[in-house]
Chain A
């Protein structure tokens, strides 16, 4: 599962690049804005919900790639 996404920083609005697999492990992602010192992390209670969504999205993306390659 390799899902790259972005979450807007709640303080300055700068998009924070987020790796899906690392997000599920509880990793904190810092805002790339050097003036902003925010860091966000997914609450442990919601990890399963996000994991299920990422898993289904990965399956969907795999099907799309198969469809595009003509298999």
Chain B
């Protein structure tokens, strides 16, 4: 039975889906990069100009409350802030994060032999005997018969069953993976754009973080 498993390309069965998943991740990463550069950035007038992030504007509504806790007049104030488009695209959701390879093989064989012998005799031999004797006034008559049956039956059954089953199942799940540190740093830097700039006491602005 071990021979049934010796010829299996186990390495290929396991490595091939993992390599395919890695290739898919690489392809998705390249596609995401192209998407990020083409959709979330705009080119300058010349090829040497750096890419500029596309900014979108949000309106912030803030409540205004008096010191006694009652709503002021007007009760809300609206301000706007700009945010890079890149920061609201959930780019880190595109990746294969789980690959499961299930290989199940079943080798089953069975042999059975049935012998059946029966004997029955039935011989169809039959004889009739008749004898008659006359002695004056008396007469004697004798009748007799003999029969014999014979019959022989023999049967033999052999049964052999073998089955090979193989099941190869690959589960691939695309889920959320963390962004590379570099992209996270860029997004963090952009996100800080929405923080207010605090003036120094002398009226100058501090250097950007």
Check if A43 sits within 8 Å of B60, measured CB to CB: no
Query: What mask results when residues 9 to 33 of chain B are scored 1 for a CB within 8 Å of chain A, else 0?
Result: 0000000000000001001100110
Cα A69 to Cα B70 with chains together (Å): 57
- Residues on B with C-beta less than 8 A from A65 are 174
How far apart are B100's CB and chain A's nearest CB, in angstroms? 12
B121 within 8 A of A: no
The answer to whether B40 and A64 have CB atoms under 8 Å apart is no
Q: Would you give the shortest CB distance from A19 to chain B, in whole angstroms?
A: 11
Interface residues on B, range: 35 or more
Chain A residues near B62 (CB-CB < 8 A): 11, 37-38
Selected from A3, A49, A52, A68, the residue in CB contact (under 8 A) with B96 is: A68
Query: Is A53 in contact with B89, judged by CB distance below 8 angstroms?
Result: yes
In the bound complex, CA of A64 to CA of B35 (Å): 13
Expressed in whole angstroms, the Cα–Cα distance for A43 and B93 within the complex equals: 26
Is there contact, CB below 8 Å, between B56 and A60?
no
Asked if B37 is an interface residue, CB under 8 A from chain A, the answer is no
- B155 on the interface (CB 8 Å rule)? no
Q: Scan residues 1-57 of chain A and give those whose CB is less than 8 A from a CB of chain B.
A: 3-5, 7-8, 10-11, 18, 23, 28, 37-43, 45-46, 49-50, 52-54, 56-57
Q: Shortest distance in angstroms between B81's beta carbon and chain A's nearest beta carbon?
A: 5
If A46-B57, A60-B35 touch, whether A8 touches B90 (CB-CB below 8 Å) is no
Interface size classification for chain A: 35 or more
B57, B88, B93, B173 — which one has the most chain A CB atoms within 10 A of its CB?
A: B88
A43 and B32 alpha carbons, distance in the complex (Å) = 26
Residues from chain B with a CB closer than 8 A to the CB of A50 are 56, 85, 88
| Residue B39, interface by CB 8 Å | yes
Residues A70 and B60 in contact, CB atoms below 8 Å apart: no
Taking CB atoms, residues of chain A closer than 8 Å to B94 are 60-61, 64
12 other A-B residue contacts (CB within 8 Å) besides A8-B194, A50-B85: A7-B83, A7-B88, A37-B63, A38-B62, A40-B61, A41-B61, A43-B57, A43-B59, A57-B35, A63-B31, A67-B96, A68-B174
A-B contact pairs, 15 of them (CB 8 A): A3-B90, A7-B58, A7-B83, A10-B58, A18-B88, A42-B58, A43-B58, A43-B80, A53-B89, A56-B35, A61-B93, A61-B94, A63-B31, A67-B174, A69-B172
Q: Residues of B with Cβ closer than 8 Å to A?
A: 24, 27-28, 31-32, 35, 39-40, 54, 56-63, 80-81, 83, 85, 87-91, 93-96, 170, 172-174, 191, 194-195
